[in-house]
Amino acid sequence: MDKTELAFSLEVTPAAREAIAAAIAGSPSPAIVRLGILPGMHPTVQMYISKPRSGDEILDFGAARLAVDPASRVYLDGATVDFHEGSPQHGFSIVGPHFSTHPPVSPSSDRTVEGQSSTPAADDSAGVHRTERGREHQLREALRRVYDPEIPVNIVDLGLIYDIEWPEDGKVGVRMTMTSPGCPVAGMLQDEVKAVAERIPGIREAVVTVVWDPPWRPEKMSPAAKRQFGYA
């Protein structure tokens, strides 16, 4: 009998299962570690705490739960996910016929880590503004490692980050957009921006909102991105 759908095969070693369970521990249910591959000229791996989404391939090992989105299955089919302790290699590794990590993914990439706040005294408004500016610069630099999987340009230079606000200490609000309202990876990029922001020391919560007004246009790209696409 002909199969209408090919089986998906991904091996997760006991060491990786233990590390995934540790990453999820303490997160509100139904937390899951999302493993995704961002395609492009140089496909990159992303691992971060998220929630299951429709269409995900769920690998459930009790306390260790791993989700693979449909677009990443072609890269991860037949691969092995492992976890390495100690130096010089420490973190998750993926080795397979279609995708491999070199070197292993750092543990800082697979979970949200709340940093210690370095907040100045409440009446030091100038110090607060300096801290916010420093964190915003740090956040924007971190977001330069996030790419639209369909475009080989990071989301900052692409002009997708509209505003960054600090409504209260330890909390950041990010307004971003997509290149088109029908962007199929909008949810994945939104989750990744949140995960990246919450890894910045002093940021305990990031609220990421996707907006469509004003609509994105090529003019919003940085000069370097415009040159890359021939707009300058």
Each residue of 127-154: b (16+ CB within 10 Å) or e? ebeebbeebeeebeeebeebbbbebebb
Q: In whole angstroms, what is the distance from residue 200 CA to residue 197 CA?
A: 6
Q: In whole angstroms, what is the distance from residue 148 CA to residue 84 CA?
A: 29
How would DSSP label each residue in 68-93?
Answer: E-GGGHHHHTTEEEEEE-SSS--EEE
Q: Output the pLDDT for position 4.
A: 35
What is residue 12's three-state secondary structure?
strand
Q: Output the pLDDT for position 173.
A: 95
Domains of the chain: 10-109 (2.60.300.12), 125-229 (3.30.300.130)
Q: Output the pLDDT for position 13.
A: 94
Residue with tokens 């919560």: 205
Pairing of strands 205-210, 171-176: parallel
Walk along the chain (232 residues) and give the pLDDT tens digit of each residue.
333 345 789 999 999 999 888 888 877 778 888 888 876 656 777 787 888 888 889 999 988 999 998 888 888 999 999 988 765 566 788 999 988 876 555 433 333 322 222 333 334 444 444 456 677 888 888 888 888 777 778 899 999 999 999 988 889 999 999 998 888 888 889 998 998 888 887 888 999 999 999 999 999 998 888 887 777 5
Q: In whole angstroms, what is the distance from residue 54 CA to residue 69 CA?
A: 9
Record the tokens describing residue 194, joined without a space: 């949140």
Residue type, 132: E
The closest alpha carbon to 231, from 145, 153, 149, 127, belongs to 153
Query: No. of H helices and E strands in the chain?
Result: 5, 10
Q: Output the pLDDT for position 232.
A: 59
Q: Are 170 and 132 in contact (CB under 8 A)?
A: no
Q: Output the pLDDT for position 25.
A: 83
Q: In whole angstroms, what is the distance from residue 130 CA to residue 37 CA?
A: 36
Q: In whole angstroms, what is the distance from residue 131 CA to residue 136 CA?
A: 9
